[in-house]
Structure 1
Amino acid sequence: MIIYLYFMFFCGIWVFCSGRNHLLIILLSLEFMVLIVYMILYNFLYFYNYELFFVVLFLTFSVCEGALGLSILVSMIRSCGNDYLNSYNMLQC
């Protein structure tokens, strides 16, 4: 089971490195990797009979990270008009 999770995590890294056009694809791959890390952490803590409070804390921070990424995406779309990374310079927008 853990090998499948590591494979999925590296697939998320591959999508993150190859997704150069849209900011939304990059944010989705980051969220995918966060969910895989969440599942690995949950399996690790459950296997060694630790408390699962840290999982709730990690999930809270990952939700805040996702909301921050979406707010940056919305502000970039409102200021520049699209989410294509190749169409504008980061210093101008």
Structure 2
Amino acid sequence: MLMHEFYGFFMFYVGLLVFSLKRKHLLLMLLSLEFVVLSVYYVLFIYLSYLGNDYFFSMIFLTFSVCEGVLGLSILVSLIRTHGNDYFQSFSLLW
């Protein structure tokens, strides 16, 4: 159990590191956030498998993570349609 949790937390911290390093592109930020959600789901699934066969909460977590991913992709599409790219420096928040 300890090795699986180590893998999950390692995935989580790698996702946060990529999120902090690739902050110029919205698509790379969204991908790293989805990787963080996937690592949290992995740790949750391992934890629930050791408690018993109650995987209902993991399905609710997957539903919310899919909704979060769709919302991020819709923001990405609207940003690309209005500004032409996904750079954060290409648009100003003061207009």
TM-score tier, shorter chain, comes to over 0.9
Is 1:68 aligned with 2:71? yes
Q: Secondary structure at the match of 1:85?
A: coil
Matches within 5 A, 1:1-93: 1-49=4-52, 51-92=54-95
| TM-score w.r.t. length of structure 1 | 0.93
CA-based RMSD of the aligned residues comes to 1.1
Unpaired segments ≥5 residues, structure 2? none
Whichever residue aligns with residue 59 of structure 1, its letter is L
Q: After superposition, give the CA deviation of every residue in 1:67-88 in whole Å (9 maximum; x if it has no partner).
A: 0000000001101111011222
Identity of aligned residues (%): 54
Distance in 1 of aligned mates of 2:53 and 2:93: 44
| TM-score w.r.t. length of structure 2 | 0.91
Q: After superposition, give the CA deviation of every residue in 1:31-59 in whole Å (9 maximum; x if it has no partner).
A: 00000000100110110115110000000
Unpaired segments ≥5 residues, structure 1? none
Whichever residue aligns with residue 77 of structure 1, its letter is I
Call closer, same or farther: CA 1:72–1:91 in 2, change over 3 Å.
Answer: farther
